[in-house]
Structure 1
Amino acid sequence: MAAKDHTIFSSYQRDPALFDELYDEKGEVKKIYKTLFDLYGSHSIEDYMRLNEKAKSSFFNQGITFQVYGDKDSQEKIFPFDLFPRIIDPAEWEVIEKGAIQRSRALNLFLWDIYHEKKILKQGVVPLELISSSENYLHQMMDVDPPGGIYNHISGTDIIKHKDGKYYVLEDNIRCPSGVSYVISNRTALKRALFGVFNHYEAYTVTNYAENLLELLETVKPKGVDNPNTVVITPGMYNSAFYEHSYLAKTMGVELVEGRDLFVENDFVYMRTIKGPEKVDIIYRRIDDQFMDPLEFRSDSALGVPGLFSAYKKGNVTLANAPGTGVAD
C-alpha cells in the first residue's frame, strides 16, 4: 500500500541486501504487519517524535535509566525505546523458544561437566586453555553440586535476525544476566503510546515474569525448607542496573538487600531486620562472583557477605545464578 508523502514511510527504500521486517520482496507490507501499518502508517514524523518524547518522559519519571561503566559521560541514560514494535508470529516464536530452551540446557550440562568429570576437556572438544584462562572459571566450584543441579537459573541470550531471515545467537549472559525489567517497561510504554495495537493483536503478556521467576527460584530451595525466604542482593543504588534490582524485588514481593544487610552464622545466612535476624534460603544475586564473599574471593570486597560461599557449599542457601557460571558466557 502507498504511504502518504508526509508519513515516516514516504522516503523508505528497501535494501535487497538486508532482511526487511516490514516489507516483502514485492515491496508490499507483510501480512502480520498490515494491521499495524493500517493503524499508524499515516502518522507523520512529527507525530512519532511527539509520541517518542512522551515515552521517554515516562521512562525518566519512573527512573528507568541505565549507565555504561567506562563511559566518559557518567550521566544516567534513558533506556532506548523503539516506538515501532517488532511482531513475532507463532511459528517464529516456536523456533526461538525451542532453541533457547535447548541452549540453556546445553549450557547447564557444559557447566556441570567442566566442574565435575571434565569430559568435554579430556576429549578435546573445548581447549583446556580456553577454560582455565577465564577469570570466571572458579576452582572453588570444583565438585560442588548446586541445588537441583542447576547453574543457570536465568539465561540472558542475545538473539538477532540476520539478513537471511533466520535467528542467531550473538552471545550468552549467564554470569549476572540483566535487562528483563526494561523489556517489561518497554511493553508498558508501548501500550501507552500505541494503545490501539493491542486491541488488534493477541500478544503474549510479559508482566508475569516476576511471578514466574520467584516460582522458579523456589523450586531449587535448600533441602528441608518448606517455605523459603527469598531476597535479591544488589551492590547498591549506584550500580548501573539498580533500577532492575529494585523492580524485580518489588514485583516478586521479596526484600532487596545489600551485603551489609546479611550475615552468616553456623553456615546459615540471616538478614538483619528490626524484629531480629531472619533466615534467608534463596538469594537472587546481582553481585559478581569475586565480590560476593571476601573470605573466599576478593578480600577487599565491601559488597559481599563473609561466609556466604561456605553456607552455599553446605547446601544451606541457594545462589542464583550459581557461582562460576560466567565461564560459559
Structure 2
Amino acid sequence: MNNASPSSYDEMFAADGSVRPAYRGYSEWYSEQPADHLRRKGTEAEAFFRRTGITFNVYGNEDAEERLIPFDMVPRIITAHQWRRLSRGIEQRVRALNAFLHDLYHRQEIVRAGRLPARLLEKNPAFLPQMVGFTPPGGVYTHIVGIDLVRTGEDEFMVLEDNARTPSGVSYMLENRETMMAMFPELFTRVRVREVSDYPRRLARSLAACLPPAAKGHQPVVAVLTPGIYNSAYFEHAFLADQMGAELVEGSDLRVENGRIAMRTTQGYQPIDVLYRRVDDEYLDPLTFNPDSMLGVSGIMDVYRAGGITIANAPGTGIADDKAIYSFMPEIVEFYTGEKPILPNVPTWRCSEPDALKYVLEHLSELVVKEVHGSGGYGMLIGPTSSKKEIAAFAAKLAARPHNYIAQPTLSLSTVPILSRSGLTPRHVDLRPFVLVSPGGIDITPGGLTRVALKKGSLVVNSSQGGGTKDSWVLDD
C-alpha cells in the first residue's frame, strides 16, 4: 500500500493498517472474495461498458479515437456524517454562485463594493453582454452544477473548481452504480448505500419547474440539445435524454416558429419549453455569437429574452467557471450569503498580479499552473512531474500572458485503493457531486462522480489524461 505519497490521506486504511469506519462493511465483504472472482468481474464490467457504448472521444488525435473510461470496482465511500457537512457547504456555494451571476448581469454590486475587480469582466469572453439586464425564468442561472472537491484529511475537503456551464460526467456516476449493483448485488444488502438512480427523474422534474412565461398551462416539453455524435460527451447527452423521457435534438432539428423554439417531429413542429443545452455559448446562436456555427439555433437568444424558452444552463454562466473568478469565491460566498465559506478554496495565486507572478515564476517546479478558461487537464503544468525543459517553456508562456493563468500548490490528494493484479493499491481521487437548482430549491445527489488517477503517483484524474472512475457511496445512517 505504498504507491502514493506517504503524506496522502488514505480513505480506507489508517496509518496502522486498520480499516477506517466508512469501509468496514465493504472490507469484510472484500476479504471473503476469491481474487480470481474479482478479476473475472472486472473483465465483465469492461465488457458491459463496451456493450453499452460508454465511451468518450479524445480530441487532438488524428482520428479523434473513442475510448472506454476505465472503471475500478473498489468504491469510494463517504459516511453520512461527512456527507451532511459537505452538502451544507455545496448548497451554500451554489446559492452564492446563482446570486453572483444575477448580480454580474444586473447592478454588479460586488464590483461597486470593491470585492471583485472590474478587470475580471472586461474583455472576458465568458461574460455575455447579451445577458445584461435579463433574468432567466425562475431566477435560476445554474440549473445543473458540478462542484469538484478534493480531500486532504479526515474532515478536510476543499473545492478545486466550479462547473456552472455544462458540467458532464453524471452518466458515468449512474452507470458505475448500475454496474456495481449488477455484479455484486449481495454487497448492497450488507452495506446500506444511498440511491443515485433517481437522478434523471429529479433532473426532469427540476428542469420542468423552470418554465418560461410563454409555456403555462400544459405538460412541460423538455429537450436535450447536443452538438452531435462526434462530441466527446455524446453518450451522456443521449443517455440523459432517454432516461428523462426527453427528446434528443441537434440544432438542425430546431427553428423559430411563432415566437417559440420548435422541434421537428413526425407530426410537424412542436414548441419546446425547456432546452437542456450541451452546446457552448459561442455556438448557441449564429445570429448573436459565432456566425459560422452549425450547432445552434438562429434566433434562439431573441426568443429566450422574450420569454419563449428556458435555456439550461443559462448563457453566460461560464463566467463562474473562470479560474480567476474562482480565486475570489471566498469573498463571493461571504458577500452574498453573509456567511464564511463552509468549504474552503484551494490556495490560489493570481498570475495577473505582479507579486503573485514573481512568486509563481520562482516556484514553478513546486506548483500546479492552470489556464483560467482551461478544462479537461489540458494547458496546465504540474511542476513536480515536469522536466526542466517543460518548466522553462511554460515560464515563457506564463510571462507573456500572465492574466491567462492561476497557480496552486501541489496538494496531497487523498487516495482510495484500486483493484490491481497485486491486490489493493492506493491511487489519488477527486469528487464531482452534481447539484440541481430550481425555483423550489437546491437538490444534491448523494455521492457524485469519483475520478481516479490510475497511473502510479499521478495527480491528474481527467479521463482525457488517462484517469478512470469509481462508484461513489454515501452511507445511510
TM-score of the superposition, structure 2-length normalised?
Answer: 0.64
The AA in structure 2 aligned to 1:233 is L
Q: Which position in structure 2 is the counterpart of 1:58?
A: 48
Cα deviation 1:249-281 (Å, max 9, x = unaligned): 001001100011110024211111121111111
Name which of 290, 308, 314 aligns with 1:298: 290
1:164 to partner: Cα distance: 5.4
Query: What code does the residue aligned with 2:27 have?
Result: F
Matched, 1:34 2:56: no
| Bigger Cα displacement from structure 2, 293-302 vs 25-34 | 25-34
Q: CA deviation at 1:195?
A: 2.7
- Higher mean displacement: 158-167 or 253-262: 158-167
Task: Using CA pairs under 8 Å that are at least 6 residues apart, name the structure with larger relative contact order, 1 or 2.
Answer: 2
- How many Å separate the matches in 2 of 1:14 and 1:248? 36
**SS of 2:144 mapped into structure 1:** coil
**1:115 and 2:105 are equivalent in the alignment:** yes
AA aligned opposite 1:168: M
State whether residues 17 and 163 of structure 1, in contact with CA within 8 Å, keep that contact through their aligned partners in structure 2: no
SS of residue paired to 1:277 = strand
CA change 1:285–1:115 in 2 (3 A) is same
* Structure 2 counterpart of 1:185, from 138, 163, 175: 175
Q: CA deviation at 1:45?
A: 5.5
1:323 aligns with 2:325: no
Instruction: Please report how far the alpha carbon of residue 305 of structure 1 lies from its aligned counterpart in structure 2 after TM superposition.
Output: 0.6
SS in 2 for 1:84: strand
Kindly indicate whether the alpha-carbon contact (under 8 Å) linking 1:19 and 1:165 is maintained by their aligned counterparts in 2.
Answer: no
* Count of residue correspondences: 319
The SS at the match of 2:256 is strand
Gaps of 5+ in 2: 322-477
Q: Spell out, residue by residue over 1:205-224, the C-alpha distance to the aligned partner (whole angstroms, 9 max, x if none).
A: 11101110111011110125
Partner of 1:269: 261
Contact map agreement 1:14 1:20 (CA 8 A) in 2: no
Aligned partners of 1:155 and 1:174 also within 8 Å:
yes
- Give the AA of the match of 1:143: G
Separation in structure 2 between the aligned mates of residue 104 and residue 68 of structure 1, nearest angstrom: 30
1:167 paired residue number = 157
Supply the AA of the counterpart residue of 1:325: T
Query: What's the counterpart of residue 225 of structure 1?
Result: 216
Q: Structure 2 CA distance, aligned partners of 1:152 and 1:68? A: 27
CA distance in 2, matches of 1:60, 1:14: 30
Matched to 1:234, the amino acid is T
Partner AA of 1:61 in structure 2: R
Q: Tell me, what secondary structure is at the counterpart of 2:262? A: strand
User: What is the identity, as a one-letter code, of the residue corresponding to 1:115?
Assistant: Y
Whichever residue aligns with residue 202 of structure 1, its letter is: R
Which structure 1 residue ranges, 5 or more long, are not aligned?
A: 1-10
CA contact (8 A) 2:55 2:67 kept: yes
- Any conservation in 2 of the 1:232–1:283 contact (CA below 8 Å)? yes
The C-alpha deviation readout for 1:284-309, integer Å capped at 9, x for no partner, is: 00111110111111100011111101
CA drift of 1:197 comes to 1.7
**Bigger shift: 109-118 or 29-38?**
29-38
- Say if 2:298 is the partner of 1:288: no
Counterparts of 2:65 and 2:306, CA distance in 1: 42
Partner of 1:256: 248
Instruction: Kindly provide the amino acid, as one letter, of the partner of residue 50 in structure 1.
Output: R
- Which stretch of the first structure deviates more once superposed, 119-128 or 173-182? 119-128
Hey, what's the Cα distance between the residues in 2 that align with 1:70 and 1:170?
25
1:42 deviates by 5.2
Structure 2 counterpart of 1:290, one-letter code = E
Q: C-alpha root-mean-square deviation of aligned residues, in Å?
A: 1.8
Kept after mapping to 1: 8 A contact 2:222/2:274: yes
TM-score, with structure 1 as normaliser? 0.92
Give yes or no for the alignment of 1:23 onto 2:13: yes
- Deviation of the 1:73 alpha carbon: 6.6
Query: Does residue 151 of structure 1 match 2:141?
Result: yes
SS across alignment from 1:184: helix
2:191 to 187, 201, 213: 201
Q: CA deviation at 1:86?
A: 1.2
Report if aligned partners of 1:191, 1:198 keep a CA contact under 8 Å in 2.
yes
Deviation at 1:248, TM superposition (A): 0.6
* Equivalent residue letter for 1:269: I
User: Does the 8 Å contact 2:26/2:191 carry over to 1?
Assistant: no
Q: Which structure has more strand as a fraction of its residues?
A: 2
* Matching residue of 1:3: none
Secondary structure of 2:72's match? coil
Identity of aligned residues (%): 41
Distance 1:247 1:190, change over 3 A: same
Cα deviation digits, residues 20-72 of structure 1 (max 9, x gap): 11122432112331221121135565544332221111111100111233356
Any idea what SS the aligned residue of 1:83 has? strand
1:91 paired residue number: 81
In structure 2, how many angstroms separate the alpha carbons of the residues matched to 1:13 and 1:258?
Answer: 46
Work out the CA distance in 2 between the residues paired with 1:86 and 1:286: 28
Matches within 5 A, 1:132-147: 132-147=122-137
Instruction: State the match for 2:465 in structure 1.
Output: none
Q: Equivalent residue for 2:92?
A: 102
2:285 counterpart letter in structure 1: D
Q: Which range is displaced more, 110-119 or 19-28?
A: 19-28
Contact 2:207–2:274, Cα closer than 8 Å, also in 1:
yes
- Counterpart-to-counterpart distance in 2, 1:140 and 1:100: 29
1:66-98 Cα shifts (integer Å, max 9, x gaps): 123335672211122121111111101101211
Counterpart of 2:362? none
Deviation sequence 1:134-192 (CA, Å, 0-9, x none): 21110111001100111000001111211454111111111111110110001111122
Query: Do the aligned residues in 2 keep the contact of 1:267 with 1:307 (CA within 8 Å)?
Result: no
Structure 2: which amino acid aligns with 1:270? A
